[in-house]
A = this chain, B = another copy of it.
Amino acid sequence: MRISDKHSKITQAAVKVFARKGFFNARISDIAKEAKVADGTIYLYFNNKYDILISLFEDEIGKIILQVKLLLEEESDPGKKLYIFALHHLKLLDKKKDLAEVLQMELRQSNKFMKEYRNTKFIEYIDIISAIIHQGQEENIFDPTVAPGIAKRAIFGALDEMSRLWVLDENPPYTIEETAQQLSNLFLKGLTL
Interfacial residues, chain A to chain B (CB-CB below 8 A): 19-22, 24-25, 101, 104-105, 107-115, 146-147, 149-151, 153-162, 164-165, 167-168, 173-174, 178-179, 182-183, 185-192
Q: Cα distance A190–B191 when bound, in Å?
A: 8
* CB–CB A179/B150 < 8 A: yes
Kindly report how many copies of this chain are found in the complex they form together.
2
Q: Cα distance A34–B110 when bound, in Å?
A: 20
Q: Give the secondary structure class of A's interface.
A: helix
The residue on B at minimum CB distance from A23 is B24
Contacts A/B (CB < 8 Å), 25 sampled = A22-B109, A22-B111, A22-B112, A22-B113, A25-B110, A108-B108, A114-B168, A147-B174, A149-B173, A150-B174, A150-B178, A150-B182, A153-B158, A153-B161, A154-B161, A154-B186, A157-B157, A157-B159, A157-B161, A157-B162, A158-B158, A185-B190, A189-B189, A189-B190, A189-B192
* CB–CB B111/A182 < 8 A: no
The residue on B at minimum CB distance from A147 is B182
Contacts of A107 in B (CB 8 A): 108
* CB–CB A186/B151 < 8 A: yes
* CB–CB A162/B174 < 8 A: no
